[in-house]
């Protein structure tokens, strides 16, 4: 790479990163977007709830976005992995897998998160296809279908409220003894939501489309779709080097301006919020780009 010095390096080239890149490119900033090419929704067949792009594939939306950003000649792209990022006085040093070191005045973290799947055969293969994380992104397409929720405790109860609006043929699978309160169980009963505490052995599916949930006791339940909230971890291995604080939930801690706890480092997209959607990532990326440009403008004026 000929140029090694940039105004901004954006780590992550999916929706949030591309949106930030557009805002900065239109502000004539010298930007590098580094992308490892592994978005969280790469297995999802269609994306929804993003106006003007409703129903397109995630890949198609990403390709259209990149084509738009490529129009701005101050924005460059690099396909690869960042292995280290550290603050050096007023600037940042970013090392990529090849060992090459790059430098910037600001960093925007638009990196993905890594979902941690339960040890249930078939779960990972169905993720994003018929095992879903978000009723806003995918719920309309499976409305009124035979539906399950895989969760427990307070999260299970709150999730049940949302999904109950999409279908009345609903079962909550706690995969072991329920940790719900007696009041919550009573509310589920009142709304005729089935509660199943059997331990799950595997998910039977056809090319990622659920057919049955099979339990360790030999029983099974036929399903069309299963909603699940899974734990996650940050997918940017160099985050520790930067020293950015995380929230109790594991998100990068960012304020209303998308600033992290480290001066000069901003974050946007799935890594900072539980609202995982294309539309939200684009909005946060656009705002982060504008806030970074303002800081650069303030310093140079």
Q: What pLDDT, on a 0 to 100 scale, did the predictor assign at position 40?
A: 67
Out of 193, 228, 263, pick the residue that ends a domain.
228
- Same domain for 148 and 82? no
- Same domain for 103 and 169? no
What is the DSSP code string of 54-123? TT--HHHHHHHHHHHHTTSTTEEEEES-EEEEEEETTEEEEEETTS-EEEEEEEEE---EEE---S-TTH
Q: Give me the mean pLDDT over the 124-135 stretch.
A: 94
- pLDDT exceeds cutoff 90 at 208: yes
- Same domain for 95 and 177? no
Domain count, the chain: 2
3-class DSSP assignment, residue 252: strand
3-class DSSP assignment, residue 11: strand
Cα–Cα distance, 193 to 142 (Å, whole number): 17
Q: What pLDDT, on a 0 to 100 scale, did the predictor assign at position 44?
A: 82
- Same domain for 144 and 201? yes
**What value does the CA radius of gyration of the chain take, rounded to a whole number of Å?**
21
- Same domain for 9 and 91? yes
The band of 139, judged by pLDDT with boundaries at 50, 70 and 90, is very high
Q: Residue 157 sits in a domain of what CATH number?
A: 3.50.50.60
Note down the domain range covering 199: 123-228
- Same domain for 162 and 211? yes
> Which run of H or of E encompasses 194?
strand 194-196
- Same domain for 222 and 244? no
Q: Give me the mean pLDDT over the 64-93 stretch.
A: 94
- Same domain for 174 and 257? no
The band of 45, judged by pLDDT with boundaries at 50, 70 and 90, is confident
- pLDDT exceeds cutoff 90 at 122: yes
Q: What pLDDT, on a 0 to 100 scale, did the predictor assign at position 9?
A: 98
- pLDDT exceeds cutoff 80 at 127: yes
- Same domain for 212 and 236? no
CB 245 within 8 A of CB 166: no
Alpha-carbon distance values, 289 to 58, 221, 236 (Å): 22, 47, 19
Neighbours of 31 (CB within 10 A): 29
Cα–Cα distance, 100 to 48 (Å, whole number): 38
- Same domain for 10 and 61? yes
- pLDDT exceeds cutoff 80 at 1: no
31: which DSSP letter?
A: E
Out of 179, 196, 228, pick the residue that ends a domain.
228
- Same domain for 79 and 101? yes
Out of 228, 247, 262, pick the residue that ends a domain.
228
- Same domain for 174 and 255? no
């Amino acid at each position: 790479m000929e140029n090694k010095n940039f105004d901004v390096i954006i780590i992550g080239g999916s929706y949030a990163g591309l949106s930030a890149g557009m805002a900065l490119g239109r502000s004539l900033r010298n930007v590098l977007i580094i992308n490892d090419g592994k978005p969280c929704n790469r297995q999802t067949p269609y994306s929804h709830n993003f106006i003007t792009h409703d129903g397109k594939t995630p890949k198609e939306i990403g390709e259209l976005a990149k084509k738009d950003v490529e129009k701005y000649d101050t924005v460059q792209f690099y396909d690869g992995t960042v292995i280290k990022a550290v603050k050096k006085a007023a600037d940042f040093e970013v090392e990529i897998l090849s060992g090459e070191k790059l430098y910037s005045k600001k960093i925007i973290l638009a990196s993905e998160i890594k979902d941690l799947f339960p040890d249930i055969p078939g779960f990972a293969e169905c993720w994003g296809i018929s095992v879903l994380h978000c009723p806003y992104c995918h719920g309309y397409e499976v409305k009124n279908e035979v539906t399950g929720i895989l969760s427990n405790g307070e999260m299970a109860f709150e999730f049940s409220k949302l999904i109950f609006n999409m279908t009345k043929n609903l079962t909550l699978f706690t995969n072991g003894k329920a940790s719900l309160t007696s009041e919550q169980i009573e509310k589920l009963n009142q709304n005729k939501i089935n509660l199943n505490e059997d331990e799950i052995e595997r998910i039977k599916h056809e090319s990622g489309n659920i057919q049955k949930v099979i339990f360790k006791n030999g029983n099974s339940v036929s399903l069309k779709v299963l909603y699940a909230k899974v734990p996650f971890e940050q997918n940017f291995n160099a985050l520790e080097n930067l020293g950015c604080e995380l929230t109790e939930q594991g998100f990068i801690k960012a304020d209303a301006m998308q600033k992290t706890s480290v001066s000069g480092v901003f974050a946007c997209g799935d890594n900072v919020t539980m609202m995982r959607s294309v539309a939200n990532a684009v909005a946060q990326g656009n705002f982060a780009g504008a806030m970074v440009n303002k800081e650069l403008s303030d310093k140079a004026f």
